[in-house]
Amino acid sequence: MSVERLRWHEVKDRTFIGATDETHEIHVVREALPIVLVPGIMGSRLRQSGSGDVVWDPPDGPGSTVSTLWSWTRASGRERKRRLIGDAHDPGFLEVDPGQLRRMRSNISGSDAEARRAIDRGWGGVHWSSYGGFLRWASLAPSLGWPRASRYFTFPVYAIGYNWSASNRESGDRIARRLRAIVAENDGEDTFCEKVIVVSHSMGGLASRSAMMLHGAEDVVAGAIHTVQPVTGAAATYKRMRAGFEGAASLVLGWNAAETTPVLANSPGGLELLPNKGYRDNAGRDRWLSVMMGGRALIERPLSGDPYAEIYRERHALWRMVDEALIDPGGPRRRVTPWMSYLDNLAVAESFHDDLALRRHPVTYTTWGEGRGHLSWDRATWTITQLAMAPGYPMPTVYQTTPSAAAQTWARSANLVASSDDGVGSCRVTGAGGGPPDPLVADIEPADGEGDGTVPAGSGRALPTPAAAAKRGVEHQMALNHPQVRAFLTAAIQQIVFRHFGARTGP
C-alpha cells in the first residue's frame, strides 16, 4: 500500500498515477492559521529577569485584587521605579512571567494537560481579566461563522506578552521571533502552517506593527486586526504624566505625577504612547495643547508640529510635561543626570514614531471607540483663573474667578511657569521674570473628547485602511470583551480566512 500526504489545497491539482492493483492511501492535511493576541501596555505579566521576582501582576479576581492594591497603593514613586525600571532603563531588566500551572488550571477550568498547553501558548503571560475572555472565546469558536472552515483550517489561539516598559521597537523584535516560532510549532505531521492572524489591543498595535513592518514578520502574517490602537498617540499620556491616572486605575498605576513620572519618564514604551508628530485632535487640529485665560487661548502647542521639541523637552514652561525632580526620586548619583536620561528615552520614542509612522500590513482591519460614553483627552487644556477670597466664618473662603484685566495683560506678555504644582492637575502660575499682579492658578481640564476613555477617536481612526469601523460605548481596557468588537473580530477574521482561502485555491 502506498501512502501520500497532501496539503488540502493540493488535492484538486493532484492527478492520480499508480498501479491499479495496489491500495493507495492519501492523507489530506489541514492548515493551521493561529490567532495570536498581542496585548496592550501593562497587559503583560512581568518579572525581573535577574531575580525572577514578579513585579507586575495586575489584579485577577478578589484575592489578587486585594494583594495587588495593598502592594501598589503603598508604593512610592521611588519604589515603583525600583520594581519596574531599576537604576536606569534596560530593556532586559524585565521579562514576561509565563504563569503558574495551578492558576491557569483555575482560569480555564481544565486539566493539568490543558493548563500546560495554555501556558505554552502564552496565555499565562497576559492579564487574564482583560484577555482571558477573548482567548477562551476565540478557542471555542473555531469556525468563526463559516462552518466549512474546519474542513481546511485549525485556529489554535496564542498570546505574546512583552516588556511594555521597553521601546516597541524592542518588543516588535521579540514578537517577530515568536510569530515565526508559532508558525514552526504548527508546521508538522498533523497540520501545516505558513501564516498567522494577529489580533492586537491598544499598544499591542504599535508593537505588532513594529514586528511586521520594522522586523520583517509581515511575510508570516495573513492579516492583522488592531483594536483601540493609539495610532498617533493619546493626549491622556501627557495628562497622566502631569496629573496621574484617574478612577480605580490610579490605585495601582499612580494617582499623581510623583507616582507616575518615575516609571513613565524612564520607560521608552510608555513615552511611545504620547501624541507624535502626526497627532491630531478629534477635530483634526495639530495644536492639541492650549493654555486658556479669560475665554481666549494664550498659548497653543505645538506650533511647528513637533511636540517633542515644544512640549516634551520643555523644562520650565507652565505646559511642560515632566518635572525633572520627580524622574528619579532618591536614585543613585550617576554621571548622567535624570533629565538627560529622560531625554535619551524620549529620543528612542521619537525615533520609533518616525520610523513606524503609519506603516501597516497590507491586510489590516481596525476598530476603535467613539461616542461620549467614555470621554477621552483628545486635547490637553490648561485654564488659568484668579484666586480670590470671600468673607466667611471662621475663615474667609477661597474661590476661583475670571482673572482681572491687569492679570490678563501681564499673562499675555509673560513667560508663564508653574510653581507649587500639586501633581494632580493644578498649579500656581508665575512668570520667569516675576509674579502676576494677582494670584493665578492653572488647572488641566477634564476629558471632553469622543473615544474609549484613553484613546481619542481621532487617533484610533488614524491608520489609513478601508477595513475600519468605529464602535460606540467601547471602554478601552475591556474592549475585546465588547459584543460589537467581538462581532467585528469575527467578521474580520472570516474575511482574512476567505482571502487566504482564495489565494490558495485561485480563481
Amino acid 344 reads D
Distance from C-alpha of 375 to C-alpha of 40, rounded to nearest angstrom: 19
373 CB-near residues (< 8 Å, 6+ apart): 472, 473, 475
Over 96-112, what HEC string results?
ECCCCHHHHHHHHCCCH
Specify the DSSP class assigned to residue 326: G
Domain boundaries, the chain: 2-30, 33-233+355-375+453-505, 286-320+380-447
Give me the count of residues in the chain.
Answer: 507
Dump pLDDT digits (tens) for 313-348. 999 999 999 999 999 998 777 778 999 999 999 999
Options 1.10.3720.10, 2.60.40.2140, 3.40.50.1820, 3.40.50.12160; CATH of 33-233+355-375+453-505 = 3.40.50.1820
- pLDDT score, position 117: 97
- pLDDT score, position 18: 56
- Is the pLDDT higher at 148 or at 353? 353
Quick one: average pLDDT of 144-156? 78
The CA angle 326-380-304, to the nearest 5 degrees, is 95
Question: Would you tell me the crossing angle of helices 77-84 and 257-264 to the nearest 10 degrees?
Answer: 20
The CA angle 260-262-264, to the nearest 5 degrees, is 60
For residues 294 and 438, is the Cβ–Cβ distance under 8 A? no
| CA-wise closest residue to 344 among 332, 327, 323 | 327
| CA-wise closest residue to 196 among 399, 211, 330 | 211
Dump pLDDT digits (tens) for 291-307. 999 999 999 999 999 99
Strand order in the sheet with 364-370: 157-159, 35-38, 196-201, 221-227, 364-370, 468-472
Dump pLDDT digits (tens) for 380-400. 999 999 999 888 778 788 889
For residue 385, the surrounding DSSP H or E stretch is strand 380-390
Average pLDDT over the chain, rounded to an integer: 91
